[in-house]
């Protein structure tokens, strides 16, 4: 592990808005903010999650765009979201938090009392092998996990460079009779000035340099 990663991990531990409990703690003790995130944010405004948040471009970008709402980024790699956590610390952002954990552990952190009404999934691993379908963040298995804590009619946003994940997600939406809001195979053509879709992640910038179109779907859970 590089020196910078060690430094970032160490600094993450000093941030009051970063949570990284050990797995045995989740199982044996539970997560103290589950059902009580309003006590951290000191309000009961809705919460938006960014899953697999990477460097947290969407967590920070949306939190700046909507200061009256609350935002939580979740990723297993704390050295990645350190950048967003550092930015939130430096700018004294009160509506941002981060969780270091695998996404399949998400139900240990949230329940229906947490008023989550929006989930962003930004450039996840498309898990193209059929044997990995259950690991896709828009699979029926993950949608079931989200339903256990999200509010009714929560909006799911998927932004991806993977046409296979895009098409797969459309099939899941159709098979489960979910309400689709928007589907675009190229956001630059369909939504060139959309403020939320204009936020770019680190990986998005890479795919754009390679000339890949960016796909987007939003639907109701």
Q: Is the pLDDT score of 215 beyond 70?
A: yes
Local confidence band at 1 (pLDDT 50, 70, 90 cut-offs): very low
Query: Active site residue: 125, 161, 175, 188, which one?
Result: 125
For residue 141, pLDDT over 50 is answered with yes
List domains and CATH numbers for the chain.
3-220 (3.40.50.150)
Residue pair 92/13 in contact (Cβ under 8 Å)? The answer is no
pLDDT at 6 over 90: no
194, 182 contact by CB (below 8 A): no
To which H or E segment does residue 128 belong? none
75 catalytic, yes or no?
Answer: no
Q: What is the pLDDT of residue 36?
A: 97
Backbone angles phi, psi at 179, to 5 degrees: -85, 115
DSSP string, 140-163: HHHHHHHHTTSPTT-EEEEEES-H
Reported as type and span, the H/E element at residue 50 is strand 47-51
Q: What pLDDT sits at residue 105?
A: 96
| Res. 3 pLDDT band, cuts 50 70 90 | low
Write the CB contacts of 29 (distance below 8 Å, at least 6 apart in sequence).
none
pLDDT digit string, tens, across residues 42-88: 999 999 999 999 999 999 999 999 999 999 999 999 989 999 999 99
Q: State the average pLDDT over residues 158-175.
A: 98
β-strands 18-19, 96-100 pairing = parallel
Backbone torsion region of residue 30, taken as left when φ is above 0, otherwise alpha when ψ lies between -120 and 50, otherwise beta: left
């Amino acid at each position: 592990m590089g020196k910078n990663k060690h430094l970032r991990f160490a600094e993450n531990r000093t941030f009051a808005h970063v949570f990284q409990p050990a797995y045995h703690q989740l199982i044996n003790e539970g997560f103290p903010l589950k059902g009580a995130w309003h006590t951290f944010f000191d309000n009961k405004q809705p919460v938006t999650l960014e899953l697999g948040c990477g460097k947290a471009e969407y967590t920070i970008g949306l939190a700046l765009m909507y200061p009256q709402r609350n935002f939580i980024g979740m990723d297993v790699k704390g050295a990645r979201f350190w950048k967003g956590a550092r930015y939130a610390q430096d700018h004294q952002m009160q509506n941002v938090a981060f969780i270091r954990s695998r996404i399949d552990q998400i139900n240990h952190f949230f329940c229906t009392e947490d008023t989550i009404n929006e989930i962003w999934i930004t450039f996840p691993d498309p898990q193209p092998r059929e044997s990995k379908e259950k690991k896709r963040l828009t699979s029926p298995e993950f949608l079931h996990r989200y339903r256990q804590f999200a509010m009714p009619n929560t909006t799911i946003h998927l932004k991806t460079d993977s046409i296979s994940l895009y098409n797969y997600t459309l099939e899941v939406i159709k098979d489960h009779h979910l309400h689709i809001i928007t589907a675009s195979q190229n956001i630059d053509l369909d939504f060139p000035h959309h403020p939320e879709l204009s936020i770019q992640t680190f990986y998005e910038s890479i795919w754009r340099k390679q000339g890949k179109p960016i796909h987007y779907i939003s639907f109701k859970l």
